[in-house]
Amino acid sequence: MLTSFDIRLLNRVQKNFPVCHDPFALIADELAQPKQKVIERLAELKKEGFIRRLGGVLNHKKVGESSLAALKVPSQKLTQVSDMVSQFEEVNHNYLREHEYNLWFVVTAANQEKLEQVLSEIEATSKCALLVLPMLKDYYIDLAFEL
């Protein structure tokens, strides 16, 4: 069960995590709570799965190449194909969605050549129709989620 302190903590730590010697002291000051309580509670929220990680979100465009892609997978092959896709370390999201193109995933690689190689391998192995949908323009992204 989340407390009101948890909600405030989660809202605070999603963005602008301080980059300094004592980041948790700044957050503790802002929330008027002891630093040790902030660190311990964050560790618990991570352990309990409310926080996936406290870290950096890389800009794909700057550090490598990435693309959203979708496969049209017949339902009887879904488990097999989704497992195959997830096994690529270059795949970092892989979701089932309600559409005839039902398996949606994001591939990220060091360069365009490697990206295309992974996508071709997925297409060939799955024998399913593939859509490759790289980002052309970003109108807004705010990955922080107000609770």
Partner 1 sequence: MIDAYQQKQILNRLSKGLPLCEHPYAELAIDYGVDEAEIINFLKRSLANHTLKRIGAVVNHHKLGYSSNAMVVWNVPDNRVDDIGELLGSQSKVTLCYQRPRKLPDWPYNLFTMIHGKCRQQVLDYLELIVTQNNLQQFQPQALFSTKQYKQTGASYYG
Question: Of the candidates 5, 16, 80, 112, which one interacts with partner 1 according to CB under 8 A?
Answer: 16
Question: Closest approach of Cβ 108 to partner 1, in Å?
Answer: 4
Q: What residues numbered 17-56 form the site for partner 1, per CB under 8 A?
A: 17, 19-24, 35, 39, 42-43, 46, 48-56
> How far are the Cα atoms of 17, 58, 72, 131 from residue 61, in angstroms, in the given order?
22, 9, 27, 20
Question: Of the candidates 68, 116, 123, 128, which one interacts with partner 1 according to CB under 8 A?
Answer: 68
Spatial CA neighbour of 46 closest among 76, 13, 73, 23: 13
Question: Closest approach of Cβ 66 to partner 1, in Å?
Answer: 7
Residue 140 interacting with partner 1 (CB under 8 A): yes
Q: What residues numbered 73-132 form the site for partner 1, per CB under 8 A?
A: 82-83, 85-86, 89-99, 101, 104-106, 108-111, 114, 129, 131-132
Q: Which is nearer to partner 1, 21 or 124 (CB)?
A: 21
Residue 66 interacting with partner 1 (CB under 8 A): yes
Question: Of the candidates 30, 57, 117, 125, which one interacts with partner 1 according to CB under 8 A?
Answer: 57
Element (H, E) at 110: none
Residues 6+ apart with CB under 8 A from 99: 70
Look at residue 119 and give its three-state secondary structure: helix
Report CA 28 to chain centroid distance, whole Å: 27
Spatial CA neighbour of 69 closest among 89, 84, 85: 85
Residue 1 interacting with partner 1 (CB under 8 A): no
Question: Closest approach of Cβ 3 to partner 1, in Å?
Answer: 13
> How far are the Cα atoms of 137, 143, 144 from residue 140, in angstroms, in the given order?
9, 10, 12
